[in-house]
Amino acid sequence: MATKTFDKSDDGVVVIVGSGAGGGTLAHELCLRGIDVVLFEAGAQQSIESYVNDEWASFSQLAWLDNRYAKGGWRVATDFPNLPAWICKTVGGTTTHWAGASLRIQEHEFKARTHYGDVDGANLLDWPITLADLEPYYAKAESKLGVTRTNGIPGLPGNNNFKVMYNGATKLGYKTVHTGRMAINSEPRDDRNACQQLGFCFQGCKMGAKWSTLYSEIPKALATGRLELRPNSHVLQVLHDDGGKVTGVLYADEKGERHEQKARIVAVAGNSIESPRLLLNSASSKFPDGLANSSGQVGRNYMRHTTGSVYAAMPEPVRMWRGTTMAGIIQDESHHDEKRGFVGGYEMETISLGVPFMAAFLDPGAWGPDFARKMETYENMAGMWIVGEDMPQADNRVTLHASEKDPFGMPVPVVSFTDHPNDAAMREHAYRQGEAVYDAVGAKATYRVTPYPSTHNLGTNRMSEKPEDGVVNSYGQTHDVKNLFVSDGSQFTTGATENPTLTIVSLAIRQAEKMADMMGKNEI
Amino acid sequence: MSITVHARAPRGEAPPRLGRRIRLDRRRFLASGLTAVGAYVVAFRGVTWIVGPGKAWAAGVDTFEPELADTLLKMTRALYPHDFLGDVHYAQVVQDLDGEVSGFDDKERLQMLRGGMAELDEAAGGTFVTADAGGKQAALGKIAGSPFFEAVRSKTVVSLYNQPEVWKKFGYEGPSYDEGGYLHRGFDDLSWLPDPPAEASPPVQAG
């Protein structure tokens, strides 16, 4: 089937920038409602056939490797000064790399300011929506993604790494321990295979068992005849008219040639580094501080979840690399209880790395006999990832580099981050609990592993009730420009405890419904 | 302790449901591999060669002179010392370092490595390659963080641990797609702990 193409002067289309969880879902949902969409993706198109079961090769294939800077007090700025985030530049965005954990944000987390109070140094705010508002969309998203333990879909079978986690956790008295709510098929569903336990969830699922916009939302949207996908097309600026409405985007194609694509609406979904960068790079005489930035909040409140890993050398082989990477969770610490010495909560989820990435991430920069002995416990290692709510801070932010520009002449992004004391206290608690889980089943040694470059990037175009507090309203529509939307995790008002993708998808479904309604009424 | 080696099916053959297994005890396993000592470096007709024990293998480097190749061979092992890895795997790292400086007009990086070798020798109080194990670690400690040290360390941590033959020695089985994943190859074969109940870990679904 020949796919639809749209003229660059067609000002009736919705332009979406970014084809990941937010952009890819929004594109499909709009097409289903009869709306024409041009979907821009800076990266190249891959497929389940072209994915590779090889960590470094896959990293080269999928990761966003354009130059960026990490600054601030986090260790990533020292160890990986040009890789603040481990996210993707490819059709499907980071839904190629994500692990599939699909959890709903808890009711109290939508009201973080109310429940946590005035935490010193934190820029906390309640979301302008509640769990009740989002519940119908969570239900639709869980069905779309095929989340296990919802919609009658069985849980995934636990692998060896989960067996260690389960036994340790239950010995410690934890109650909510299972193989997770995962957007990975435990049985064939929606033209996707069942998981064959490849162990390469992070490298693009070669079974197609894990939900990704690459082979779920985007092909379905193309089949409506209303979508044009433009891969290898890097959007440089969002353009506007004298009246302050956006009119389209300026982009560079595969050859680096610049074009303008007209649009009725522009939705920005480039993840929490590129989306604010694009708005800041769209500054004009009318909007000198960047587009949609009258609040000054564009790029601010960058969140990355309070993370860390605990690996343990167990007395017998575990072979944690075998099977689904993140199908295992302990949820007993995900609630809010200030008696633990911090606000918010955290999850503990199974994780594993192959030998190449274990060498790179176990203790970045380390060398010598002690490091070598740790690596030699690899076959016996069990592992977990900590993911908890971090505090939004105004000065944790994405800014434009003062002098360095990308090949298209646009300033490159600088990501500044420093832990809030609450983040540090939570991580310390989580490390201790993680170690206790493995000690309970006889760990010979445990290793606290520093956070990896950010996989969860949130908050840099946050939602707010009042225009002065944030960038977008509860539908992701910018407060300043009525036909400009944000459709990714940069909308998050606060980070919550949960892996963010399910919420990004739910917000995109809700946004599509509202956008179509507003278009129908000629409001935008 | 015993190590289980998983023999791979040749490409093109249908993958077996369970990998064929050969059990070796650790002593035999180590003896069968290339041991830590023995590789040496020679220049032959203008090319530098790292030669394995008993001339079992030889790795040519295009640009490095013998002294630099030998220093880097010993340095990469001292950075990430694994007794069960033969010199052939460290020689691979030296080849990769050599590849970074070969074929370019810009000799800045090569000069940096040569300067670094002198720095390392000085830190070892003579020549690094002849220092004992403790002396090597002490010398590395003195130059840790220098551009030379970081250039070699950061290349080694990727290049050494990215070799499929090295993975096997760590027990890591690597790519699984061509063999049907681990669903029928031991993803849940851990037997030294009880199995979780079905509500926590449901059985594999039929079909």
Judging by beta carbons within 10 Å of its beta carbon (0-12, 13-18, 19+), is residue B123 exposed, middle or buried?
Answer: buried
**E strands within chain B?**
2-7, 20-25, 40-44, 47-51, 58-61
User: How many whole angstroms separate alpha carbon A417 and alpha carbon A360?
Assistant: 21
User: Above 50 in pLDDT, residue B23?
Assistant: no
Rg (CA), chain A: 22
Answer yes or no: is pLDDT of B13 > 90: no
Residue B26 pLDDT level (bands cut at 50, 70, 90)? very low
Cross-chain residue pair A368–B140, CB shorter than 8 Å: yes
DSSP assignment of A57-117, as one string?
A: HHHHHHB--S--EEESSSTHHHH-TT-SB--B-BTTGGGTT---B--PPPGGGGGHHHHH-
The yes-or-no verdict on residue B25 having pLDDT over 50 is: no
A208 in B contact zone (CB under 8 Å): no
CB-based contact A207 B181, cutoff 8 Å: yes
Look at residue A445 in the predicted model and tell me its pLDDT.
Answer: 98
Its sign, for the CA torsion A427, A429, A434, A439, is positive
Preferred mutation among B23, B136, B173, B182 to probe A, highest tally of A CBs within 10 A:
B182
B54: pLDDT confidence band, cut at 50, 70 and 90?
confident
CB atoms B161 and A355 under 8 Å = yes
Q: Which of A363, A367, A371, A374 to mutate to test the interface with B (most CBs of B within 10 A)?
A: A367
- CA-based nearest residue in chain A for residue B1: A316
Residues of B in contact with A159 (CB under 8 A): 182, 187-188
Q: Which run of H or of E encompasses A474?
A: none
Say if residue B106's pLDDT is above 90. no
A234-240 vs B2-7, strand pairing mode: unpaired
Using the structure block, give the residue that is written with the tokens 């909308």. Answer: A491
Q: Identify the pLDDT of residue A1.
A: 52
Q: At A308, list the tokens.
A: 């860390």
Distance from CA of B77 to the nearest CA of A (A): 9
The whole-number average pLDDT for the span A350-360 is 98
Tell whether A319 lies on the interface with B, counting CB pairs under 8 A. Answer: yes
Q: Is the pLDDT of residue A125 over 50?
A: yes
SS3 of A27, please? helix
Q: Confidence class of residue A2 from pLDDT cuts 50, 70 and 90? A: low
Tell me how far apart the alpha carbons of residues B18 and A160 are, in angstroms, rounded to a whole number: 16
CA distance A185 to A207: 10
pLDDT digits (tens, 9 = 90+) for A391-426: 999 999 999 999 999 999 999 999 999 999 999 999
Cα B173 from Cα A318, distance rounded (Å): 13
Quick one: average pLDDT of B20-45? 53
- Better pLDDT: B105 or A86: A86
B144-172, pLDDT tens digit by residue?
999 999 999 999 999 999 999 999 999 99
Residue B28 scores a pLDDT above 80:
no
Residues on chain B touching A378 (C-beta within 8 angstroms): 170-172
CA distance A520 to chain B (A): 45
The pLDDT tens digits of the residues spanning B62-87 come to 999 999 999 999 999 999 999 999 99
Could you give the C-alpha distances from B124 to A367, B69, B79, B80, in angstroms and in order?
18, 17, 15, 18
| Structure-token pair, residue A520 | 């129908």
In the DSSP assignment, the letter for residue A423 is: H
Is the separation of the CB atoms in B85 and B120 below 8 Å? no
- Interchain pair B203, A162: CB under 8 A: no
Tokens (6 digits) for A281: 């790079």
Average pLDDT of the residues of chain B: 84
Of B162, B167, B188, the CB nearest to A159: B188
Smallest CA–CA distance, residue B72 to chain A, in Å, is 15
Residue B104's pLDDT is what?
A: 72
User: What are the pLDDT digits (tens) for A6-47?
Assistant: 999 999 999 999 999 999 999 999 999 999 999 999 999 999
Taking the C-alpha atoms of residue A510 and residue A314, their distance in angstroms, rounded to an integer, is 46
Residue A5 near residue A198 (C-beta atoms within 8 A)? no
Size of interface A-B (CB pairs under 8 A): 165
| A379 in B contact zone (CB under 8 Å) | yes
Q: How far is A148 from chain B (nearest CA, A)?
A: 11
- Chain centroid offset of residue B126 CA: 27
A55-92 per-position pLDDT tens digit: 999 999 999 999 999 999 999 999 999 999 999 999 99
User: Residue B206: its pLDDT value, please?
Assistant: 79
Looking at residue B27, its pLDDT comes to 38
Res B34: pLDDT: 40
For B26, the token pair is: 């650790």
Question: Nearest Cβ partner of B190 from A155, A160, A178?
Answer: A160
With beta carbons under 8 A apart, name residues in chain A contacting B137: 368-369
Q: Is the pLDDT of residue B17 over 50?
A: no
Residue B9 pLDDT greater than 90, yes or no:
no
Confidence of residue A202 (pLDDT cuts 50, 70, 90): very high
User: Does pLDDT of B32 surpass 90?
Assistant: no
Q: Which of A297-306, A333-342, A472-481, B6-15 bottoms out in mean pLDDT, i.e. has the lowest?
A: B6-15
Q: How far apart are CA A431 and CA B133, in angstroms?
A: 34
Are B80 and A155 inside 8 Å of each other by CB?
A: no
Count Cβ atoms below 10 Å from residue A252 Cβ, excluding itself: 20
A81 touches chain B (CB under 8 A): no
User: A7-21, A143-157, B15-29, B147-161: lowest mean pLDDT where?
Assistant: B15-29
Q: What is the DSSP letter of A461?
A: T
Q: Which residue among A155, A163, A358 places its CB closest to the CB of B190?
A: A163
Looking at this protein, which amino acid is placed at residue A261? Q
d(CA B115, CA B107): 12
Nearest to B162 among A56, A155, A367 (CB): A56
Residues A372, B82: C-beta atoms closer than 8 Å: yes
Report chain A's mean pLDDT, rounded to a whole number.
Answer: 98
Contacts of B177 in chain A (CB under 8 A): 53, 198, 200, 206-207
Extended strands (E) in A273-327: 306-313
What confidence tens digit (pLDDT) does each residue in B120-150 have? Answer: 999 999 999 999 999 999 999 999 999 999 9
In terms of CA atoms, which chain A residue is nearest residue B180?
A196
CB hemisphere CA count around B54 (13 angstroms): 5
Instruction: Check pLDDT > 70 for residue B183.
Output: yes
- pLDDT tens per residue, range A268-314: 999 999 999 999 999 999 999 999 999 999 999 999 999 999 999 99
Contacts of B144 in chain A (CB under 8 A): 367
B132: β partners: none
Tally of CB atoms within 10 A around A395: 13
Q: Check whether B21 has a pLDDT greater than 50.
A: no
Q: How many helices (H) and strands (E) does chain A have?
A: 12, 17
- What is the pLDDT, as a whole number, of residue B5? 29
